[in-house]
Amino acid sequence: GNSVTQMEGPVTLSEEAFLTINCTYTATGYPSLFWYVQYPGEGLQLLLKATKADDKGSNKGFEATYRKETTSFHLEKGSVQVPDSAVYFCALRASGGSYIPTFGRGTSLIVHP
């Protein structure tokens, strides 16, 4: 079946540090890949997406590149800020019949001033 594996958190960084949150997936075919962000007490918001190999999704300074050869979709940001503190979820939507998304367990990011 499909699966998404994210690095364990929490990830704790100082402001302006470089962020990487690793995400790898298992799926047949060519899934679409997503990063969602969840702020405390809120629902998930779509952060960025990529629908085919080598696509780069980007939004609000965050980037992730769809790497089919390594089945990865790592989230990066060059300089994190305190408001970036949140939980980040990697997800996939498999190609073919199933429209049900598969989510990773989430990675908590804490940014200190």
Partner 1 sequence: DGGITQSPKYLFRKEGQNVTLSCEQNLNHDAMYWYRQDPGQGLRLIYYSQIVNDFQKGDIAEGYSVSREKKESFPLTVTSAQKNPTAFYLCASSHWDSHNYGYTFGSGTRLTVV
- Residues that bind partner 1 in the complex, under the rule CB under 8 A: 32, 34, 36, 41-46, 49, 51, 89, 91, 93, 95, 99-101, 103-106
Cα–Cα distance for residue pair 40/71, rounded to 1 Å: 29
Q: At 57, is the secondary structure helix, strand, or coil? A: strand
41 or 83, CB closer to partner 1?
Answer: 41
Q: At 74, is the secondary structure helix, strand, or coil? A: coil
Residues β-bridged to residue 12: 110
24 or 103, CB closer to partner 1?
Answer: 103
Q: Closest separation between CB of residue 31 and partner 1, Å?
A: 8
84 φ, ψ to 5°?
Answer: -75, -10
67 or 93, CB closer to partner 1?
Answer: 93
